[in-house]
Homo-oligomer: A and B are copies of this chain.
């Protein structure tokens, strides 16, 4: 919800990611209506063009539907959302494990560190 935008990557890709997370977590349930481009842009403190670009990408991915004059909404297809969510999770894990492997950690170490940190975070 708090828009966390860094300068090390294009903003619009970060917007895509964060909106995805909101969809996956149920902040925007299937079929629900999104705020207007202008409102979302203001919320995230970015130019409307940039937000537009992010939303266009999400529509391209099939996660969002555009109604020319009445705004946008999340797809009704809940199973598709679930699928995208699972894929993102697996991609994240894979990327993470690969990086840890390149750093020289073996699997036992990785699991130990994760369980430790997960507990710390309560």
Query: For the complex, would chain A's binding face be called helix, strand, loop or mixed by DSSP majority?
Result: helix
Seen from chain A, the residues whose Cβ lies within 8 Å of a Cβ on chain B are: 8-10, 13, 21, 24-26, 85, 88-90, 92-94, 96-97, 99-100, 102-105, 107, 110-111, 113-115, 117-118, 121
Cα distance A9–B114 in the bound complex, in angstroms: 27
- Residue contact B89 to A103, C-beta cutoff 8 Å: yes
Count identical subunits in the complex: 2
Q: A8-B13, A9-B9 are in contact. Are A113 and B99 (CB under 8 A)?
A: no
Which of chain B's residues have a CB closer than 8 A to the CB of A90?
Answer: 113, 117
Docked complex Cα distance between A99 and B103 (Å): 21
Do A114 and B111 contact each other (CB < 8 Å), given the known contacts A25-B104, A89-B103, A92-B100? yes
